[in-house]
């Protein structure tokens, strides 16, 4: 009888514990569902980021240029310099050829001259005086490994130079080892070939000389006298817009070119008034030219604000010259006035507490907490806040989870 009583008590306890556990489980699930249904907040995790104070507009570059006279040159012009290259006054910037065939033949003559010169150098007693097989082999090995490195790095510009050096060493080795006594027969054949080629050239090329020093550009656009530095102040927003549209349609007018005589360039650009009203003169900024696909540093030299218009004109001084920049007359551009670094926060998250402090509501496991922010910069959608590590309990920090949308927010509100 006692055994049956004990068995009955154990069975009752197990059933009771099972029912109790089931109730707790149901209550826990129900509570989690309740929390999910009542958590009407949108959240995000904030991180350090960079934001730029910038504006976009269209503009024209003003520069001092001298057009190279092409009236006396007939035929094909081959430049000696790339665009933006520095050239000295009275130097040859290009050559004018009668035909394309003449260019090929004159190039061939130049190659033959180099071969003849190399052979003469190889058999010159003076250059062989301190040479021996060991020295030549060592130099040839060095050139060989240099050639391998050059090929691996795809540096094709120096391959020909290395090849010429190795050929020179090989020719000297032939002389030193008495495989040949001299290269006079080969030189005579090359001279004969050169003379025959020279006879077929219709006319000698004419040198194109620059009268001034500066930076070479291989074309003109017809605006060289309209966009001088001294004329920059004459252009307002309306005239700049008109000039920009004209320049965009302009085509290169000749195949000789011009020389930019001054490294100073003025870039006048039409920008939204609301974005430049607080910019300081003399401030350094970055200009990203759409036309050139590159970025240059410039200084704001002048700002003509028109409070009655949506557009104002800014003038920037540029004192660098590059190949792409030398060819620009007009371009769309992005002006970056300043770069800020801090914690990026959506504007919808910014709120004021009862004391009037600016901040956001962050979340921990059990409650929300108001954290202050010091705003560095803002645009239409986001603000950038100072990243502070001295008071992480009061101020927003990296990787905090914040509320971007929600109602009835207050400090220390329980959420679990």
Same domain? For 320 and 373 the reply is: no
Which is more confidently placed, 180 or 232? 232
Same domain? For 153 and 261 the reply is: no
Poorest-confidence range of 28-42, 296-310, 341-355? 28-42
Residue 385 backbone phi and psi in degrees, to 5: -110, 155
Q: What angle do CA 394, 396, 400 make, to 5 degrees?
A: 120
Domain C-terminal end among 172, 206, 240: 206
Same domain? For 199 and 101 the reply is: yes
pLDDT at 255 over 70: no
**pLDDT at position 3:** 46
Q: What is the 3-state secondary structure (H, E, C) of the chain?
A: CHHHHHHHHHHHHHHHHHHHHHHHHHHHHHHHHHHHHHCCCEEEECEEEEEEEEEEEEEEEECCEEECCCCCCCCEEEECCCCCCEECCCCEEEEEECCHHHHHHHHHHHHHHHHHHHHHHHCCHHHHCCCCHHHHHHHHHHHHHHHHHHHHCCCHHHHHHHHHHHHHHHHHHHHHCCCCCCCHHHHHHHHHHHHHHHHHCCCCCEEEECCCCEEEECCCCCCCCCCCHHHHHHCCHHHHHHHHHHHHHCCCCCCCCEEECCCCEEEEEEEEHHHHCCCCCCCEEEEEECCCCEEEEEEEEEEECCCCCCEEEEEEEECCCCHHHHCCCEEEEEEEEEEEEEEEEEHHHCEECCCCCEEEEEECCCEEEEEECCEEEECCCEEEECCCCCCCCCECCCCCEEEEECCCCCCCCECC
Domain C-terminal end among 340, 356, 388: 340
Q: For residue 336, what are the domain limits?
A: 55-68+213-340
**pLDDT at position 73:** 60
120-135 mean pLDDT:
75
- Strands 258-260 and 65-67, by their bridges, are antiparallel
What region does 396 belong to: left with phi over 0, alpha with psi -120 to 50, or beta? beta
Same domain? For 287 and 386 the reply is: no
**CATH code, domain with 372:** 2.40.420.20
Q: Cα(348)–Cα(43) distance, rounded to whole angstroms?
A: 11
Answer whether residue 194 is part of any domain. yes
Same domain? For 198 and 231 the reply is: no
Answer whether residue 126 is part of any domain. yes
Label residue 43 by pLDDT band (50, 70, 90).
confident
Answer whether residue 76 is part of any domain. no
Helices 100-122, 159-176: crossing angle, 10 deg rounding: 40
Answer whether residue 281 is part of any domain. yes
Same domain? For 217 and 334 the reply is: yes
For the chain, give the mean pLDDT.
84
Same domain? For 268 and 347 the reply is: no
The distance from CA 90 to its chain's CA centroid, rounded to whole angstroms, is: 34
Answer whether residue 292 is part of any domain. yes
Label residue 2 by pLDDT band (50, 70, 90).
very low
From the CB of residue 146, how many other CB atoms can be counted at a distance below 10 Å?
16
pLDDT at 65 over 90: yes
pLDDT at 141 over 80: yes
Answer whether residue 189 is part of any domain. yes
Render pLDDT for 265-295 as a digit per residue (tens, 0 to 9): 999 999 999 999 889 999 999 999 987 777 8
Same domain? For 217 and 325 the reply is: yes
**pLDDT at position 85:** 92
From the CB of residue 362, how many other CB atoms can be counted at a distance below 10 Å?
20
Q: Cα(127)–Cα(315) distance, rounded to whole angstroms?
A: 59
pLDDT at 116 over 60: yes
**pLDDT at position 7:** 46
351-357 mean pLDDT:
88
**pLDDT at position 410:** 85
Which is more confidently placed, 385 or 205? 385
Taking every pair of Cα atoms in the chain, the longest distance, rounded to a whole number of angstroms, is 136
**pLDDT at position 385:** 93
Poorest-confidence range of 93-102, 149-158, 202-211, 380-389? 149-158
Same domain? For 202 and 226 the reply is: no
Task: Please state the pTM of the whole predicted model.
Answer: 0.67
Total domains, the chain: 4
Same domain? For 218 and 334 the reply is: yes
Domain C-terminal end among 206, 228, 260: 206
Structure tokens at 131: 């040479």
| Cross-strand pairs, 360 | 371
Label residue 14 by pLDDT band (50, 70, 90).
low
Residue 90 backbone phi and psi in degrees, to 5: 70, 15
**pLDDT at position 88:** 94
Answer whether residue 183 is part of any domain. yes
Place of tokens 């009668």: 98
pLDDT at 139 over 70: yes
In the chain, the N- to C-terminal Cα span, in Å, equals 51
pLDDT at 299 over 80: yes
104-117 mean pLDDT:
83
User: CB under 8 Å to 265, separation ≥6 — which residues?
Assistant: 61, 62, 63, 317, 318, 319, 321, 325
Same domain? For 94 and 176 the reply is: yes
Answer whether residue 411 is part of any domain. no
Same domain? For 108 and 169 the reply is: yes
**pLDDT at position 181:** 79
Residue 12 backbone phi and psi in degrees, to 5: -65, -40
- How far is CA 167 from each of CA 114, 150, 241, rounded to the nearest angstrom? 12, 17, 59
Among 366, 369, 330, 99, smallest CA distance to 221 is for: 330
Percent of the chain with pLDDT over 70: 87
């Amino acid at each position: 009888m006692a055994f049956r009583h004990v068995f009955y008590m154990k069975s009752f306890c197990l059933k009771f514990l099972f029912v109790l556990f089931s109730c707790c489980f149901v209550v826990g699930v129900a509570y989690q569902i309740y929390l999910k249904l009542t958590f009407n907040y949108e959240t995000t995790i904030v991180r350090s980021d960079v934001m730029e104070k910038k504006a976009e507009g269209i503009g024209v570059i003003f520069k001092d240029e001298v057009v190279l006279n092409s009236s006396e040159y007939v035929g094909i012009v081959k430049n000696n310099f790339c665009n933006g290259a520095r050239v000295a006054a009275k130097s040859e910037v290009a050559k004018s050829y009668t035909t394309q065939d003449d260019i090929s033949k004159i190039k061939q003559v130049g190659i033959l001259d180099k071969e003849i010169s190399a052979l003469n150098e190889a058999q010159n007693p003076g250059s062989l005086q301190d040479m021996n097989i060991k020295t030549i082999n060592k130099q040839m090995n060095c050139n060989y490994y240099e050639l391998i490195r050059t090929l691996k790095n795809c540096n094709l510009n120096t391959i020909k130079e290395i090849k010429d050096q190795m050929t020179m060493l090989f020719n000297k080795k032939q002389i030193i080892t008495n495989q040949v006594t001299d290269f006079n027969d080969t030189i005579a054949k090359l001279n004969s070939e050169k003379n025959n080629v020279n006879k077929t050239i219709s006319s000698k090329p004419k040198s194109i000389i620059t009268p001034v020093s500066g930076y070479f550009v291989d074309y003109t656009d017809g605006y060289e006298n309209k966009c001088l530095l001294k004329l920059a102040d004459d252009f307002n927003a309306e005239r700049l817009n008109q000039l920009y549209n004209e320049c965009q349609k302009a085509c290169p007018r000749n195949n000789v070119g011009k020389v930019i005589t001054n490294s100073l360039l003025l870039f006048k650009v039409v920008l939204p008034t609301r974005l430049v009203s607080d910019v300081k003169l003399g401030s350094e900024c970055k200009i990203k030219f759409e036309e050139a696909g590159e970025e240059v540093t410039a200084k704001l030299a002048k700002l003509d604000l028109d409070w009655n218009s949506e557009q104002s004109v800014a003038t920037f001084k540029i004192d660098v010259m590059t190949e792409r920049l030398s060819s620009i007359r007009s371009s769309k551009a992005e002006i970056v006035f300043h770069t800020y670094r801090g914690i990026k926060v959506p504007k919808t998250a910014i709120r004021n507490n009862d004391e009037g402090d600016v901040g956001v509501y962050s979340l921990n496991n059990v409650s929300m907490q108001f954290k202050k922010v010091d705003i560095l910069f803002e645009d239409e959608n986001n603000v950038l806040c100072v990243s502070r590590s001295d008071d992480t309990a009061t101020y927003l920090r990296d990787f905090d989870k914040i509320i971007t949308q929600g109602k009835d927010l207050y400090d220390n509100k329980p959420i679990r």
